[in-house]
Amino acid sequence: MNIESSPAGLLAALAATLALHAAQPAIAADDPAPAASSCLKAGAWTRLGGEAPRIATAQDVLPALADRDVILLGEQHDKADDHRWQLQTVAALNAMRPGMVIGFEAFPRRVQPVLDRWVAGDLGTAEFLDRVEWNKVWGMPAELYLPLFEFARLNRIPMVALNVERKLIRTIASKGGDAVADAEREGVSRPATPLPSYVDQLLQSHREHARMRGTDDARAAAADPAFRNFVDAQTTWDRAMAEALARRLAAGGGSRPLVVGIIGSGHLHHGLGVAHQLRDLGVTRIATLLPVAVETPCDDIRPGLADAVFAVPPQAVVPSAPPRLGVSLGEGEGGVHVAEVSPGSLAERSGFRAGDLIVELAGSPVSQVASVVAAIRNQPAGTWLPLRIRRNGESLELVVRFPARG
């Protein structure tokens, strides 16, 4: 784990900015390599447990953490190398702690029976993705996650749905946690009070996305009701995943399994999100591991960020790869909000403007950023993609003409 253009739209305020290009690696084939970092080494771990970061090997890091009850593995949802790192880490941990359980932010808890059938080998890949409504509930390219799912099925490792329905999170973001009755909370208990540093972090994120949308929320204060609702939504989201992890840990009885969580890194930084809620639930033996780009400044790799981070190397891209859209997106009421259009981008040439609301994609209604991301990425070069937007109350049709390769 990854995410939403009104104060009520959580995925507008929680979403990371999505610049949609054909590939998202950090460096092009003819660009100079990023400057070397003194705290990170490509393809290696950095331990953060002491006063200063220390580059280490997997043998230094994983055995020392494998006896924890819960290990949280972060991700940027759309980064393929993050998921490859997760797979190699899960495989190493499984060798040390057979009988593990893997929880996924990508699945709402209502699809748990489908996950059980998949692990049992009762479903093929296409049927599995259809039954969990992958494109509806998550929408990232399935091939990013399928190696993890296949690993779990191959080794009969239970998979656990950690999430709740997006509707619940959006409702809390709109109305606040107290306005949602317990019977409508999908069994999620009231979250622990967030730490002040988490509130500060969320306020910064809330303001940044408000600035992108050009709203007055860019000057929001911590006491503003819209921001407080935003915090309620985020902490409820964290609480839901923490409860699912804690519940599965307790289900193991005396032989407590290692429970691994595959979760967006934003929920894990500095132990302020899911880990904070786990501690409130009585689960204290927790480790957090994060993938980070090797060119990340050392000022951002501070003790407390995680127990350890893995430095993901840059990946060269073909300079002639066709451009994709070039927008920043968030989810709003009734569609996907265009927060920003990159100058000179395919989106600008196709007629998109900041503030547009994408309501249809190739004739089908659309309400999730992830669905637009997946459609753009899967669109073959040299083809056309019609989209319907709303702009200033008017319905317009735009056609994106993707260039042919080369």
User: In this structure, are strands 101-108 and 259-262 parallel, antiparallel, or unpaired?
Assistant: parallel
User: Is 302 in a helix, a strand, or coil?
Assistant: coil
Q: How many CB atoms lie within 10 A of CB 306?
A: 28
CATH code at 211? Answer: 3.40.50.11550
Task: Kindly state the helix (H) or strand (E) to which residue 162 belongs, with its residue range.
Answer: strand 159-163
Q: For the ranges 193-197, 242-246, 316-320, 391-395, which has the lowest average pLDDT?
A: 316-320
Instruction: Pick the last residue of a domain from 246, 277, 312.
Output: 312
The share of the chain scoring above pLDDT 90, in percent, equals: 63
| One domain for residues 364 and 233 | no
Q: Name which of 5, 69, 50 is nearest 302 in CA terms.
A: 50
Mean pLDDT of 59-63: 96
Measured in degrees and rounded to the nearest 5, phi and psi for residue 282 equal: 95, 5
Q: Residue for token digits 């132990």?
A: 271
What's the average model confidence in pLDDT over 183-196?
94
**Exposed e or buried b per residue across 359-384, where buried means at least 16 C-beta atoms within 10 angstroms of its C-beta:** bbbeeeebbbbbbbbbbbbebeeeee
Q: What is the pLDDT averaged over residues 56-79? A: 96
Pick from 17-21, 273-277, 360-364: least confident: 17-21
pLDDT, averaged across the chain: 86
Pairing of strands 286-293, 259-262: unpaired
Any domain includes 70: yes
Residue 317 counted as domain residue: no
350 and 290 in a common domain: no
- Rounded CA-CA distance 393/104 in Å is 39
Which position has the higher pLDDT, 176 or 221? 176
Structural domain span for residue 341: 327-401
Tens digits of residue pLDDT in 371-405: 788 888 878 888 999 999 999 989 999 999 988 87
Question: Is residue 2's pLDDT more than 70?
Answer: no
Whether residue 395 is contained in a domain is answered as yes
- At 309, the pLDDT band (50, 70, 90 cuts) reads very high
Based on the structure, what is the number of domains in the chain? Answer: 2
* Count of other CB atoms within 10 angstroms of residue 155: 14
Q: Are residues 286 and 397 in the same domain?
A: no
Same domain, 208 and 356: no
- Looking at the fold, whether 343 and 306 belong to one and the same domain comes out as no
Taking 3-state DSSP, the helix, strand and coil percentages for the chain, each rounded to the nearest 5, stand at 40, 20, 40
Q: Are 284 and 375 found together in one domain? A: no
Q: Where are the alpha helices (DSSP H) in 261-345?
A: 274-280
pTM of the model: 0.75
- 335-365 pLDDT, tens per residue? 888 988 888 889 999 999 998 999 998 888 8
Q: What is the pLDDT of residue 329?
A: 84
Decide the pairing of beta strands 335-341 and 327-332. Answer: antiparallel
User: 5: pLDDT confidence band, cut at 50, 70 and 90?
Assistant: very low
**Range list of β-strands (E), 210-324:** 259-262, 286-293, 308-312
Q: How many residues does the chain have?
A: 406
Same-domain check for residues 38 and 127? yes
Residues 304 and 228 in one domain: yes
In-domain check, residue 52:
yes
Are both 264 and 344 inside the same structural domain?
Answer: no
**Contact criterion met (CB below 8 Å) for 32 and 286:** no
We report the CATH number of the domain holding residue 343 as 2.30.42.10
Whether residue 48 lies inside any domain: the answer is yes
